[in-house]
Structure 1
Amino acid sequence: MRTHFCGLVDEALVGQTVTLCGWADVARDLGGLCFIDLRDHEGIVQIVAEPSDAAGNAAVVEAAARVGYEDCLRITGTVRRRQSVNPKIRTGQVEVVATQIELLNKAEPLPFHAHENPGEDIRLKYRYLDLRTPQMQRMMRTRIKLVQALRRWLDARGFQDIETPILTKATPEGARDFLVPARMHPGEFYALPQSPQLFKQILMMAGFDRYYQIARCFRDEALRADRQLEFTQLDMEFAWVSERDVQDTVEEMIRVVFREVMDVELANPFPRMTYAEAMRRYGSDKPDLRNPMEFTDIADLVKTCEFKVFTDWANHADGRVVALRAPKGAQFSRKQIDDYGAHAAKFGAKGLAWMKIDDLGKGREGISSPIGKFLDDGTLDAILKATGAQSGDAIFFGAATYKSASDFMGALRLKLGKDLGLVAEGWAPLWVTDFPMFEWDDEENRFVALHHPFTAPAVDSIEEMRANAKTAVSRGYDMVLNGNEIGGGSIRIHNSQMQSAVFELLGIGAEEAEGKFGFLLDALKYGAPPHGGIAFGIDRIAALMAGTESIRDVIAFPKTTTAQCLMTGAPSPVPDAQLAEVHVSVREKPAK
């Protein structure tokens, strides 16, 4: 139907006849002289319908005058140089003088204009219109280029693209599974995979050595800007490797991909930081290194002060008292400080103590703080010295359990860095390593795996791991970029006895382990090689590359935060007859 794409018409085609197909992005009738900006996925070109003595030209001008916004058109014409160049578009040096305009499909009045900014619900309901917009086309093409670059790099280095099952077995750890009733096995269910984890490990045991897959994964969990029910990850696994083998390989891959897709050079090598150091300095296991603000632990300075909140947590075995200096923060009004307290409360803070240093030279008289009266001169001076506070700064304090104080102060650090304009431009990659093996869950009164239960501990001795479960370190690692975890992996357990011991520490008894993971435990007995891997979030990387904070902008058909597809109306009720076929009945919804 066409000879060229709209966005690729250039000066090399001047004098030639072209046939183009696209949508009317803009249509202007200037009283016999009509202009149409014709748009396809490659871009926009200006079409001109002008009066002349040529036979049939009046019909072309008449057809152009009837064109409406988003009409679907096929236009034939001659390429010529524009008198008024438009440097904002790729085709801005030329235009097409129409000799034929064919209306392929008339568009009804649209619910929103491509150059407007409607609410997200409207955009998702009419996603096909939203995806036509140049901004969405650009972001989706960024994602496409990312995936293409990843595949090129992996294929060239001998990685094997192997598909793993979508209908699989329910797992007891992590997020909730999506369940699928098995029609041929009444009362039994498949689960959609949260990741291909066990299958890719078994592929290593089967001798495939280097595996990858652009895998669709599913987790029935709450949605947010960087999380969807179904998502895409680059899944990778290597046999006969250590942590550094995996990390060095994928680090080079990410550098090459950013160079190809974004023309960006990332650091070489990426800096490295242990989990413990990241939590100590930034209160996060995915710190944004573009933000220079760091924590100062002051528990030793306030153990005997008169402020009970500080002393209680400073003397608690699992407590933390931390200070965060905000450069130029003395400018904050009381309302702004209260707003920061409310922000910290969203992440678990019971309160947020603060101090403004108006004039350091005046000592106590130059400081305003609701807790100042509880700090003697020696303690106050020690805090100011430890934090490096200067006149015009503010200091915020957090006191709670180590994890809770780290969480809410880490969230405060991010907000302060943004509000104070401290976050540098550019890209800050980082490896975070040496994660804890386990976390203690107070609600369930048991250990849970920080990564997943197939991650190897840093020790080879089962006895040593059991004896030091609370402080055990795993062989897990994450790749972080600008404060986002874009990839997470580990060296896996390749010994059946160690895997059984980890299950036991996680509260998974021998009978349950055999029922749910018997196939894995068996496979580990038959010469399983040392192996490890990593998975990268395609959606998150694409969003970073596209410059958007929401992964919904780089997913063609995402769900809303209420887990709905507004375009199709999913999820939706299913007829009783269809439910009966899969041996499922639905309980009545509880009354509100």
Structure 2
Amino acid sequence: MHRYRSHTCGELRASDVGTDVRLSGWLHNRRDLGGILFIDLRDHHGVTQLVARPGTAAAEALDKLSKETVLRVDGRVVSRGADNVNPDLPTGEIEIEAAEVEVLGEAAPLPFTVNADDGVNEERRLEYRFLDLRRARMHRNIMLRTAVISAIRNKMTALGFTEMATPILTATSPEGARDFVVPSRIHPGRFYALPQAPQQFKQLLMIAGFDRYFQIAPCFRDEDARADRSPGEFYQLDLEMSFVEQEDIFQPVEKLMTELFEEFGGGRHVSSPFPRIPYREAMEKYGSDKPDLRAELELVDVSDVFASSGFNAFAGRHVRALPVAGVQDQPRRFFDQLGEYAVEQGAKGLAWVRVGEDGALSGPIAKFLTEKDVAELTRRLALAPGHAVFFGAGEYAEVSRIMGAVRVEAARRSGHFTEDVFRFCWVVDFPMYEKDEDTGRIDFSHNPFSMPQGGLDALRTQDPLDVLAWQYDIVCNGVELSSGAIRNHEPEIMLSAFEIAGYERADVERDFAGMLRALRFGAPPHGGIAPGVDRIVMLLADEPNIRETIAFPLNGNAQDLMMGAPSELTEARLRELHLGVRRPSGA
């Protein structure tokens, strides 16, 4: 018999009754029922129940051991009997009569319970992540992640893509976030950058003639944590294609996402085909460029209705209306709670009216609306008895953000929200540039290497803020999975695009020398996208926080509490790297 096990803890069935077996695993749980010990033994594959009778050596050994001690147990498979079957376990028809026990690794007192989710705080969980990963939910999430990545590789290969690796040590690039930098020992005063994405390298692969590339790429960004973004590092399905237009990118990605979410989504419906929503339409209708289409409500711009209205609170401001049908039976508390929610999002309040059986409007602002206002709102919003309308007013960006959140919340509260589905969409036609409200500076709104719609002519003749780019996002249930673009493959267009964003040509020639040199040797039209693997798994696992699907994530302050990173370097190591440390005052 094998030194440690003849079977795994998830393997034995009723057909094995009478067999002598050896199992190894962790002491998951222990119950003492009148002197008879029942032990749940757990390994990677599952759980098997052990039974130890009073007075036996096995019972004496098992009674003293702490939970999470690693054991080797020899015994015989016996039937539990019909009345004692555990239908929740694949091994629930049998148990092991324990005969011999060997301790392979004794466990110290536990900092938290492993066999149940007991609400321990995240910092403690991350400090003892090796214990946290023993929990059934976490183990399941990590195995889901592994299966998803394996499926992605297989499906991408079947779609004709070639997996290739790109460098980790590279040069800094203005990708929209701060780089992590690595000092060079042999080039004093110089630094590598960890890639924010393999952007330039995958474009260079297209220029080199490889046609369809992909990799599960590690990316590094020195930015703050969010619920849907892990600080420090993350992984994305990075892909690029040659001789393509926008729709050519969409087709394989849409097929991949549909198959992935159908395979691993637990039976939840996947919307297909994915609708294409222009950026400006998304902002108008949903208040967001990552709309949650499970919410079946839409915003309507009614600024013009109130432009000359007698309602001074709205006059001269951007006003967005949210009509909601079927709320005739909702109590006043429904309206008050939505108002409270809007205030939590940063609003000063939430104006509303409701439509009575006679078509008349009532509510806090109804008395301020003229007959003309009511008639136009009724026509524009297709109002009928039982409807309510919520209004937000202010600056465009702020109103969009607040009312976008109210739209989803109102849908949840009013029965206009569909659960247990994956609703995808493509958001397209992003502006090439945006203006910094504080400095007035024109800058790229998305990837700086994107092709402007209209090419060089658009850059030379249009207002920069009117130029659209061949850029697109793929969104699922309000979560942006990725941005992508058709790339700028013409050097003159690239130089002009950067010039509009305030970059001197000489600086672009210096900072992107490798890219520009390659483009000047014959570059094919190409484009790509890079869906976030962590976010895909987060959605499939139905987890609200991305760290729940990553084996060893950093905490919200970009620290590894388990390994103690980031750590200080010794003076000797600093000298070897030709570095000195200048701490901020007070640190």
Regarding TM over 0.5, the answer is yes
SS at match of 1:308: coil
Q: Report if aligned partners of 1:330, 1:357 keep a CA contact under 8 Å in 2.
A: no
Amino acid of the residue matched to residue 370 of structure 2? D
Change (3 A) 1:261 1:3: farther
User: 1:501-580 residue pairs with structure 2 within 5 A?
Assistant: 501-580=496-575
Amino acid of the residue matched to residue 283 of structure 2? M
Amino acid of the residue matched to residue 342 of structure 1? V
SS at match of 2:61: helix
Tell me the residue number matched to 2:29. Answer: 26
Tell me the residue number matched to 1:54. Answer: none
**How many residues are matched?**
574
Tell me the residue number matched to 1:183. Answer: 185
- Per-residue CA deviation, residues 409-457 of structure 1 (Å, 9 max, x unaligned), is 1122223333445321211111222222111222342222222111111
Q: Report if aligned partners of 2:180, 2:193 keep a CA contact under 8 Å in 1.
A: yes
Tell me the residue number matched to 1:147. Answer: 149
Amino acid of the residue matched to residue 121 of structure 1? E
Change (3 A) 1:271 1:335: closer
Tell me the residue number matched to 1:225. Answer: 227
Amino acid of the residue matched to residue 404 of structure 2? G
Tell me the residue number matched to 1:340. Answer: 341
Amino acid of the residue matched to residue 288 of structure 1? D
Q: Report if aligned partners of 1:27, 1:67 keep a CA contact under 8 Å in 2.
A: no
Change (3 A) 1:122 1:235: same
**Greater Cα offset, 71-80 or 122-131:** 71-80
6, 11, 23: which one aligns with 1:8: 11
Q: TM-score, normalised by structure 1?
A: 0.92
Amino acid of the residue matched to residue 219 of structure 1? R
Change (3 A) 1:360 1:34: same
Q: Report if aligned partners of 2:175, 2:196 keep a CA contact under 8 Å in 1.
A: no
Deviation at 1:394, TM superposition (A): 4.0
User: 1:236-385 residue pairs with structure 2 within 5 A?
Assistant: 236-262=239-265, 264=267, 266-313=270-317, 320-327=318-325, 328=327, 331-332=332-333, 336-345=337-346, 349=347, 351-357=348-354, 359=356, 361=358, 363-364=360-361, 367-369=362-364, 371-385=365-379
**Greater Cα offset, 249-258 or 548-557:** 249-258
384, 404, 408: which one aligns with 1:414: 408
Change (3 A) 1:491 1:408: same
**Greater Cα offset, 526-535 or 15-24:** 15-24
Amino acid of the residue matched to residue 58 of structure 1? T
Amino acid of the residue matched to residue 131 of structure 2? L
Deviation at 1:512, TM superposition (A): 1.0
- Per-residue CA deviation, residues 291-339 of structure 1 (Å, 9 max, x unaligned), is 01110211221111123342212xxxxxx32111345365336763552
Q: Report if aligned partners of 1:149, 1:261 keep a CA contact under 8 Å in 2.
A: no
SS at match of 1:203: helix
Q: Report if aligned partners of 1:459, 1:465 keep a CA contact under 8 Å in 2.
A: no
Q: Aligned equivalents of 1:91 and 1:215: distance in 2? A: 39
Tell me the residue number matched to 2:492. Answer: 497
Q: Report if aligned partners of 2:218, 2:233 keep a CA contact under 8 Å in 1.
A: yes
Q: Report if aligned partners of 2:183, 2:191 keep a CA contact under 8 Å in 1.
A: yes
Q: Report if aligned partners of 1:491, 1:531 keep a CA contact under 8 Å in 2.
A: yes
Matched, 1:81 2:76: no
**Greater Cα offset, 559-568 or 214-223:** 559-568
Q: Report if aligned partners of 2:359, 2:384 keep a CA contact under 8 Å in 1.
A: no
Change (3 A) 1:292 1:259: closer
Deviation at 1:171, TM superposition (A): 1.6
Q: Aligned equivalents of 1:463 and 1:379: distance in 2? A: 40
Tell me the residue number matched to 1:316. Answer: none
Q: Aligned equivalents of 2:150 and 2:448: distance in 1? A: 32
**Greater Cα offset, 269-278 or 450-459:** 269-278
Tell me the residue number matched to 2:200. Answer: 198
Q: Aligned equivalents of 2:293 and 2:460: distance in 1? A: 32
Q: Aligned equivalents of 1:208 and 1:562: distance in 2? A: 40
Amino acid of the residue matched to residue 33 of structure 2? L
Q: Aligned equivalents of 1:581 and 1:466: distance in 2? A: 54
Change (3 A) 1:555 1:30: same
Q: Aligned equivalents of 2:432 and 2:396: distance in 1? A: 17
Q: Report if aligned partners of 1:479, 1:488 keep a CA contact under 8 Å in 2.
A: yes
- Per-residue CA deviation, residues 359-379 of structure 1 (Å, 9 max, x unaligned), is 353735xx121x444322321
Q: Report if aligned partners of 1:232, 1:537 keep a CA contact under 8 Å in 2.
A: yes
- Per-residue CA deviation, residues 518-542 of structure 1 (Å, 9 max, x unaligned), is 1111110111011111101000000
Tell me the residue number matched to 1:157. Answer: 159
Q: Aligned equivalents of 1:123 and 1:530: distance in 2? A: 48
Deviation at 1:390, TM superposition (A): 5.2
Q: Aligned equivalents of 2:385 and 2:561: distance in 1? A: 53
Change (3 A) 1:200 1:275: same
Amino acid of the residue matched to residue 278 of structure 1? A
- Per-residue CA deviation, residues 181-211 of structure 1 (Å, 9 max, x unaligned), is 1122222111111100000000000111111
Q: Aligned equivalents of 2:389 and 2:468: distance in 1? A: 33
SS at match of 1:7: coil
**Greater Cα offset, 500-509 or 157-166:** 157-166
SS at match of 1:519: helix
Tell me the residue number matched to 2:435. Answer: 440
Q: Aligned equivalents of 1:559 and 1:173: distance in 2? A: 22
**Greater Cα offset, 31-40 or 328-337:** 328-337
Tell me the residue number matched to 1:105. Answer: 105
Q: Report if aligned partners of 1:352, 1:397 keep a CA contact under 8 Å in 2.
A: no
**Greater Cα offset, 405-414 or 380-389:** 380-389
Amino acid of the residue matched to residue 422 of structure 2? W
Q: Aligned equivalents of 2:461 and 2:394: distance in 1? A: 28
**Greater Cα offset, 571-580 or 558-567:** 571-580
464, 468, 471: which one aligns with 1:473: 468
Q: Aligned equivalents of 1:361 and 1:422: distance in 2? A: 24
Q: Report if aligned partners of 1:352, 1:396 keep a CA contact under 8 Å in 2.
A: no
Q: Aligned equivalents of 1:463 and 1:89: distance in 2? A: 64
SS at match of 2:584: coil
Q: Aligned equivalents of 1:507 and 1:429: distance in 2? A: 36
Change (3 A) 1:420 1:121: farther
**Greater Cα offset, 549-558 or 383-392:** 383-392
Q: Report if aligned partners of 1:435, 1:477 keep a CA contact under 8 Å in 2.
A: yes
Tell me the residue number matched to 1:317. Answer: none
Change (3 A) 1:545 1:463: closer
Q: Aligned equivalents of 2:389 and 2:138: distance in 1? A: 42
400, 418, 442: which one aligns with 2:394: 400
- Per-residue CA deviation, residues 125-163 of structure 1 (Å, 9 max, x unaligned), is 111111000010111111111001001112233322211
Amino acid of the residue matched to residue 113 of structure 2? H
Q: Aligned equivalents of 1:385 and 1:355: distance in 2? A: 17
Q: Aligned equivalents of 2:505 and 2:131: distance in 1? A: 54
- Per-residue CA deviation, residues 208-229 of structure 1 (Å, 9 max, x unaligned), is 1111111111111111111122
Q: Aligned equivalents of 2:412 and 2:271: distance in 1? A: 23
**Greater Cα offset, 136-145 or 429-438:** 429-438
Ranges in structure 1 where 5+ consecutive residues have no aligned partner: 52-56, 314-319
Q: Aligned equivalents of 1:258 and 1:438: distance in 2? A: 33
Matched, 1:484 2:479: yes
Over the matched positions of the two proteins, sequence identity in percent amounts to 42
